[in-house]
Amino acid sequence: MTGRPAPLPRPAPVPRPSAVLAARYARALDIAAVVAVAGWHLAGAGPLLVAHLGSYPSDQFQIAAWGAIALIIAAGSVLLLRGLQSRGTGWALAAAALAISTAVAAACPPDQMLATDWAWGTAGWVGVLVLLRRPLAELGVFLTLEGVATFAVLTRDGLHRSTVAAFITVLAGSAGIQLAIAVAAGALNVPARQAADAATREADVTARRAVADRIRGARRARWLELRATAEPLLQGLATGTADPGDPAVQRACAVEAARLRRLLAEGDDAPDPLVHELHACADVAQRRGVAVDIETAAVIPAVPPEGRRAITDLAIAVLVNAMSQVRVTVTGTVDGVIVSLVSDSPAEPDLPSSPVWLAVDSQRDQQSLWVEARWNTM
């Protein structure tokens, strides 16, 4: 006997459009941060350092510090782009940058510190880079710590009004811009999320519309099909040209009622659609008082809709002719299914013409009529 058909492979989960969009946007933001910070270190801090070489107490220390900051930026960029940034790694790199920046400030000529300190601004940008995925307040804390450390180094020889004013100017120019950029990045995220949500909603609406169109199409096809046979019958009954007392008219009505029930059953999600639809077809005969017994044997293979349609059309033709009992059997075979009906039908049923791929056979023994349909998977 045939085995149950293998279950269909589950489709791979499709990411929601909003998630795709948000991920793409976050990626662009990361790359922009890396480019900006690396660019500042190379094109901003680098030339500043080169311009003042010779005026530092130790040029080698300044160059080594610049290299160390470059390494921190490289490490921070890799972590960010690989999605490995965490609170621990972020703050470890930020702390290293803060320490180097403070040491650089301390190793600058004391009277020209604000002019020669290339590291202050760079360290702030490192903070933006390594704390990009952290809450904005953490960057605020970092920039404050850095400002305080630099201010402490600046004022170790005493407080002068001019140096304080210059410090505030530089602070506004670096930390202010860094914070503003971080705020803007957070703010840009909001419209991106809105755009993503809108895309999701649109996709949902499109999917719902497609399903509705398919359902409407299927309903229309069923209605057209029913109309072709049921409408003339109903018109005949309404205009009086068909006599409700005529057994032929009664049988035609029973056929249409069974077909209607079958159409309704076709939309059901039943584990065994063929048997389910045969039950629907039997319903009309049972209402007439005919005992219908439906038996299945072995595993029934899946029969496509057109196969079920041809088989149930045959079943309806037999069922409407049965006097008092019908035995319907559905037998699964190695290569298909055999549906048979044994009924007591004195009148010869008007069997519908079956498609070539459905082998139909029948035999009459007095009152007893046997009709069999064989459908093969091949």
Residue that is written with structure tokens 């080698």 in the block: 60
- Contact call for residue 81 and other proteins (CB under 8 A): no
> Residue 94 phi/psi, 5° resolution?
-65, -40
Query: Considering beta carbons, is residue 55 or 363 the nearer one to other proteins?
Result: 363
- Quick check: 307 and 358 in contact, CB under 8 A? yes
Tell which positions 307-336 bind other proteins, by CB under 8 A: 327, 329, 331-332
377 scored as a contact of other proteins (CB under 8 A): no
Site for other proteins in 348-367 (CB under 8 A): 363, 365
Stretch that binds other proteins, among 100-108, 143-151, 218-226, 293-301 (CB under 8 A): 293-301
Tokens of 285: 């005969």
Which of residues 259 and 308 has its CB atom nearest to other proteins in the complex?
308
Q: Does 1 bind other proteins (CB under 8 A)?
A: yes
What's the min distance (Å) between Cβ of 1 and other proteins? 6
Residue 299 or 360 having the CB closest to other proteins: 299
Q: Any contact of residue 296 with other proteins (CB under 8 A)?
A: yes
Q: How many residues bind other proteins (CB under 8 A)?
A: 21
300 binds other proteins (CB under 8 A): yes
- Cβ–Cβ < 8 Å for 371, 326: no
Binding mask 2-41 vs other proteins (x if CB under 8 A, - otherwise)?
--x-------------------------------------
Calculate the alpha carbon distances from 181 to 81, 176, 245 in Å: 19, 9, 88
Q: In the complex, what is the shortest distance from the CB of residue 359 to other proteins, in angstroms, rounded to a whole number?
A: 14
> Which lies closer to other proteins via its Cβ, residue 89 or residue 296?
296
* Residue whose structure tokens are 């029930």: 261
The residue (of 178 and 340) whose beta carbon lies closer to other proteins is 340
- The amino acid sitting at 164 is V
Please check whether residue 292 is in contact with residue 357, taking contact to mean a CB–CB distance below 8 angstroms.
no
> Does residue number 344 form part of the binding site for other proteins (CB under 8 A)?
no
**Nearest approach, Cβ of 355 to other proteins (angstroms)?**
22
Q: How many helices (H) and strands (E) does the chain have?
A: 12, 5
**358-365 and 368-376 as β-strands: parallel, antiparallel, unpaired?**
antiparallel
**How far from 218 is each of 228, 277, 289, CA to CA, in Å?**
16, 17, 33
| 295 interacts with other proteins by CB under 8 A | yes
Question: What is the layout of strands, in order, in the sheet containing 368-376?
Answer: 291-297, 325-333, 336-344, 368-376, 358-365
Nearer CB in complex with other proteins: 257/281: 281
DSSP string, 264-283: HHHTS--SSHHHHHHHHHHH
Q: Which residues bind other proteins (CB under 8 A)?
A: 1, 4, 293, 295-300, 327, 329, 331-332, 338, 340, 342, 363, 365, 368, 370, 372
